[in-house]
Every structure is written in C-alpha cells, then in structure tokens.
C-alpha cells in the first residue's frame, strides 16, 4: 500500500485526485487551508474506500507551514510514495492594477511551496530509488497570458521545472509529471475572478475527468500530460505562430466583452 500527499486537496482537481488515489487503495495525506472541507472529505473517503487519511490544515503561503508538512510525515514515520503539488491559484486583471500582496501570495504558493515540497521529498525518493511526483501546471504554461500574466508565468515555471526534474531523476526510478489541464469546472474561475471571461463561457471538463486523466498519466510516468485534444493543439500553437499574435489571442480569450 502506498501513500499519496496531495496539496490543495479541499476542492476541485485536488479533491478529485484524492478520491482517485483512494479508489486505488492508497493512503492519503491531504493538505489545504479549510479544516471543515478536509474533515468532510476525509470522512467520506475513509467510509467508502477504507484507507487511512491524514489531514493537515496548512497555508502554503507560509514557509513555516510548508516545512511543517514535511516534519509531520517524518514524525509519523510516513513514507510519501506519491507527491502531488496541486495547490495554486490565479487572478484576473491588468498587471499594473494588481494588488502586490495577491501577486506575492500567488508566487509563494504556485512556485515556492511546490518547489520546496518537491525538494524535501525528492531526496527521500532518491534514497529509495522509487517515487512519483505530479506537479499541476496548466495549458497556461505554454504561452503568455495577458490579464493573467503572473499566473501564466508561474505555470510556465512549473512546467519547465518538472521537465528538468524528470530528466535528472529518470535513472533514479522516479517519475515527474506536469499535468496541464485547460479551463476546468472548479472553484478556480471564481477565485481568479475570471468566471465571466470567454475562457470559461464554454463547455469545459469536470475536475473528476482531469483528475482521472492525471492519475493515469502519472502512473504511466508521462512527463507532460495535456488534458484534451483541443488543449493539446492550443498548447502547441506558440510553435507555429508569432509570439505577439499568440499573446493577442489570449488577451481576447480573457476579455469580458
């Protein structure tokens, strides 16, 4: 029996990934800020799938909380076989109008927390010569994103870090997967204040669909996993069109007209 540690597990893709791992008999360590949501999810999973579920109420915007996650697993003598860095958020608006504290938090959660947790756990995986990491990136990682500039940039970092790690770790029995969903039905759009943009005014996949795809990709050891044929084509578009044109198209998609 393996153990999966999942951040941002209280809703959306993170919640559905928790269910996906539980379906396959894996114990869970669920990390998020909402204690009530984590308890509700943990109770439901334990009742249905009979696996062990640990919940950690942590704010990954706080360096101390990041380290406390790792300390907990050490103190409890829990081996983390699968690390899923899902926690993250976006924000909609012109870069010049954004609140700096919001930008800073986005960088801390989307980049710093993911990087530090990966660094902490990958060293243990190297010693065991076994383990899998999933970093939840986005199709945003493949192009500039006017009106969500920082979010797109953070996801580009996640993608490139994941690809580099995958190459370094391939001879150590460890896989690293960058899951790259497009727009997904979750709380992300509301948190980012982007629900009424053209990006979300169309039929989009559920978090459960994306999670099921991501789980399979991770277990296959796929390095870059782009959910959906349309998303795959859009992600590749920057290779065939001028970068300025791609930025203009994304700006149009982000419009609220």
State the Cα–Cα distance between residues 220 and 47, nearest whole angstrom.
29
Alpha carbon 135 to chain centroid, angstroms: 5
Q: Identify whether 155 is a catalytic site residue.
A: yes
State the Cα–Cα distance between residues 8 and 42, nearest whole angstrom.
14
Q: Identify whether 151 is a catalytic site residue.
A: yes
Question: What DSSP element (H or E) covers 158?
Answer: helix 149-169
Which one from 58, 82, 147, 155 is the annotated catalytic residue?
A: 155
Q: Where are the alpha helices (DSSP H) in the chain?
A: 12-23, 35-49, 63-75, 100-107, 114-128, 149-169, 188-191, 207-220, 229-236, 243-253
Question: What DSSP element (H or E) covers 127?
Answer: helix 114-128
Which one from 49, 121, 147, 151 is the annotated catalytic residue?
A: 151
Active site residues: 151, 155
């Amino acid at each position: 029996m393996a153990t999966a540690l999942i951040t941002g597990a209280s809703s959306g893709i993170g919640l559905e990934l928790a269910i996906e791992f539980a379906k396959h008999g894996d114990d869970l360590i669920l990390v998020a800020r909402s204690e009530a949501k984590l308890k509700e999810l943990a109770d439901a999973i334990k009742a249905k799938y009979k696996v062990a579920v640990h919940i950690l109420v942590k704010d990954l915007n706080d360096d101390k909380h990041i380290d406390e996650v790792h300390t907990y697993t050490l103190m409890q003598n829990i081996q983390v076989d699968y690390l899923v860095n899902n926690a993250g958020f976006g924000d909609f608006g012109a870069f010049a109008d954004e609140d700096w504290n919001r930008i800073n938090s986005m960088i801390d959660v989307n980049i710093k927390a993911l990087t530090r947790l990966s660094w902490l756990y990958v060293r243990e995986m190297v010693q065991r010569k076994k383990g899998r990491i999933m970093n939840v990136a986005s199709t945003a990682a493949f192009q500039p994103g006017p009106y969500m500039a920082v979010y797109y940039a953070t996801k580009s970092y996640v993608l490139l870090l994941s690809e580099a790690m995958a190459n370094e770790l391939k001879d150590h029995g460890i896989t690293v997967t960058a899951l790259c969903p497009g727009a997904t039905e979750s709380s992300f759009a509301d948190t980012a204040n982007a629900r009424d943009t053209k990006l979300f005014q169309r039929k989009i996949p559920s978090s459960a669909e994306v999670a099921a795809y991501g789980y399979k990709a991770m277990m296959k050891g796929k390095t870059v996993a782009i959910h959906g044929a349309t998303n795959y084509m859009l992600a590749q578009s920057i290779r065939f069109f001028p970068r300025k044109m791609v930025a203009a198209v994304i700006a149009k998609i982000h419009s609220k007209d």
